[in-house]
Chain A
Amino acid sequence: MLSGKPLRFLVGFILVVNGMFPALWILFTSLKTEAELTQKPITWFPHAPTVANYVRAFTDQPLPLFLFNSFMVALLSTMLTLLVSVLAAYALARLKIRGRDLILSAIIAVSTFPLVTLLVPLFEIMRALGLLNSWVALILPYTVLSLPVCTLILVAFFEGIPRDLENAAMIDGCTRIGALFKVVVPLSAPGVFTAGIIAFVNAWDEFLLALSFNSSPTLRTLPVGVTLYQGEFAFPWPVISAALIVGIVPIAVLIVIFQERVVSGLTSGGMKG
């Protein structure tokens, strides 16, 4: 039987292949020429790597616009989520509130809520408010999507900040809200960051609402935009692959930089997967 170093190497290899192979395969595909792609048997590594597919990914569809929409919707909804959940988490962690446990249970219940079922009423609301085909139509639901997990993460962090530090700031003439933003939030920066990254990834990945509410080509987000490369009968796979790689890079960079925070946030707050 295998043991020790060889076993660890084998197991690590399996894990890395499982996690990375799909993205790697798409990278290989994106670098192949049309001719190489239709060779049989298929080649694994691109023989004559080309960036032509990336050029086409940017010219066939307004890829920078998809990226911009995704980025702005994710960023703005993350900021709104953080603002709202910082306030709520502070109230739940620090103030004497009747029915605190009830409010916390309600927040946990919302985190398991199937947002898909509200497609019809949300569609109606956004339509009535004239918000279809706007960033706001996505920012509001995405904020609610991440609000429960962010609030729970922040409550846990705030409870770990000594009250004395806040009291000291208040004696120095700070208001309670002032103390929250000048003392508690900066000291909970890791928690705020963790919550923020999770909110950002949730918003960046969402598909159904983006597909349903923003049908105008100029307001498409990236996950919806990448589905537009396929024609009725034609699937330009190398071009689709190139567009996917362009979409994967920002999220991969975020994950590589903040991997430890993301893991701690995912496992502490409980969340959607």
Chain B
Amino acid sequence: MTAAASQKQGSAQAQSRNGGSLWLRVLDPGERTLALLLLAPTALLLALIIVYPVGRLIWTSVHTLSLTSGAPAVFSGLENYQLMLEDPVFWETTRNTVLITLITVPGALVVGLCLALMANLPFRAKWPVRLSLLIPWALPLSFAGLIFAWFFHSEYGVVNDVLRRIGLPGVIWFNSAGWAFAAICLTIIWKTSSFMALIILAGLQTIPRSLYEAADVDGAGRLRQFWEITLPLLRPSIVVALIFRTITALQTFDIPFTMTRGGPGTATATLAMYIHQNTVDFLDLGYGSALAVVMFALSMIVTALYLRMIRARG
């Protein structure tokens, strides 16, 4: 738009506003004021629920603040962090969280990719397949945890029933750290792989058929087509899915909480569960905050790594 035109429009707007009543002026402000007004509720909510809490989180993490004593917050520098480094439960829950992330994110990606490739076949009726991918996504995580706790029940669980039917011994899943951890990881992979599949499926459907037809003409086999056409073209959708999945994996809480309560002992407890315990059960807000700062740092690292990966590969 030329300067003259915009000036003309501006004066026309000013004229109509002078002509209009005060009420109309309130209802029909200029473009910039309007933009500010429209974005204000978002800004207000983000300020209350994200920005102020982040500042408060960092502030609390360098104070001794426990609600059980009722004493006011006392500045204690890095004492909470020092305590944390010497706390074996912190290290164990952090290790569990990182392990869950390292196992379930690639796990969900592989399973999700398989589900997506399967769902991409030309089915006559689309809805059964679509629903089968949507139901696991829509199910609350806590429901999935309870359902799979029942699946893995040592006496009456369907998993052990199947194992026994094919001649293997049943496993007492929740009495040993390793098996309990495996059960949790399998549950998380089941719950999250269909979301991966939905994202990847959408990516698959944007790949033009002509590419495969050309590859057929050139004599490239199915496997080669998958590695050289499908996977490279899927990269953008896979990266997006991976970022979200990794960030949520670091926050894992619902499934171990409902399946094992972190047991046996603290063998399957996650960092989020330890933050929750310190905050809500022990009301030790200072220590809970220091733990949360660590998780915050972990997710920042993940986001930064992925963003670099996207940029490096274009």
Point out residues on A near B: beta carbons under 8 Å.
7-8, 11-12, 14-16, 18-20, 22-23, 25-26, 29, 37-38, 40-42, 44, 83-85, 87-88, 90-92, 95-97, 103, 107, 110, 112-125, 140-141, 143-144, 147, 151, 175-178, 201, 204-205, 207-208, 211-212, 215, 222-224, 226-227, 237, 240-241, 244, 247-248, 251-252, 254-256, 259-260, 262-263, 266-267, 270-273
Q: Is the CB of B41 within 8 A of A87?
A: yes
Q: Is the CB of B285 within 8 A of A124?
A: yes
Q: Is the CB of B196 within 8 A of A121?
A: no
* Chain A residues within an 8 Å CB radius of B240: 270
The 6 A-B pairs of least Cβ separation, nearest first, read: A19-B132, A273-B195, A121-B53, A267-B202, A91-B38, A121-B56
Q: Which residue of the partner chain A has the closest CB to B195?
A: A273
Q: Is the CB of B121 within 8 A of A11?
A: yes
* Chain B residues within an 8 Å CB radius of A18: 115, 132, 136, 190, 194
Q: Give bound CA distance, A240 to B149, whole Å.
A: 11
Q: Tell me which of B82-90, B139-147, B213-221, B226-234 binds A.
A: B139-147
Select one of A211, A226, A256 contacting B131, CB under 8 A. Answer: A256
* Chain A residues within an 8 Å CB radius of B253: 116, 207-208
The total of interchain contacts (Cβ-Cβ below 8 angstroms) comes to 276
Q: Which residue of the partner chain B has the closest CB to A28?
A: B158
Determine which residue in A12, A92, A151, A178 has the highest number of CB atoms from chain B within 10 A of its CB, and name it: A12
Determine which residue in A12, A15, A270 has the highest number of CB atoms from chain B within 10 A of its CB, and name it: A15
Q: Is the CB of B198 within 8 A of A263?
A: yes
Q: Give bound CA distance, A113 to B140, whole Å.
A: 20
- Supplied contacts A144-B45, A175-B24, A248-B143, 20 more A-B pairs, CB within 8 Å: A8-B123, A11-B118, A12-B129, A19-B134, A38-B156, A42-B161, A83-B41, A91-B38, A121-B56, A151-B42, A177-B34, A207-B253, A208-B272, A224-B142, A227-B142, A241-B150, A244-B146, A252-B135, A256-B131, A272-B247
Q: Is the CB of B45 within 8 A of A12?
A: no
The minimal Cβ–Cβ distance linking B258 to chain A, given in whole angstroms, is 6
Please report whether the interface of chain B is mostly helix, strand, loop or mixed according to DSSP: helix
The minimal Cβ–Cβ distance linking A213 to chain B, given in whole angstroms, is 9
Q: Give bound CA distance, A22 to B155, whole Å.
A: 18
Q: Is the CB of B50 within 8 A of A144?
A: yes
Q: Is the CB of B122 within 8 A of A8?
A: yes
Is B46 close to A, CB under 8 A?
yes
A121 with B276, Cβ < 8 A, contacts A91-B35, A114-B295, A267-B199 known? no
A23 with B119, Cβ < 8 A, contacts A91-B35, A95-B34, A116-B275 known? no
* Chain B residues within an 8 Å CB radius of A40: 155-156
The minimal Cβ–Cβ distance linking B137 to chain A, given in whole angstroms, is 6
> Within residues 244 to 269 of chain B, which ones have a CB less than 8 A from any CB in chain A?
244-245, 247-248, 250-251, 253-254, 257-258
> Within residues 41 to 75 of chain B, which ones have a CB less than 8 A from any CB in chain A?
41-42, 45-46, 48-50, 52-54, 56-57, 60
Q: Give bound CA distance, A123 to B57, whole Å.
A: 11
Q: Give bound CA distance, A239 to B261, whole Å.
A: 20
For this complex, 18 residue pairs linking A to B, each with C-beta atoms less than 8 Å apart, are A8-B122, A15-B132, A15-B133, A19-B131, A40-B156, A42-B161, A96-B31, A114-B251, A121-B57, A121-B60, A125-B53, A175-B28, A208-B276, A223-B142, A223-B254, A237-B150, A256-B131, A273-B248
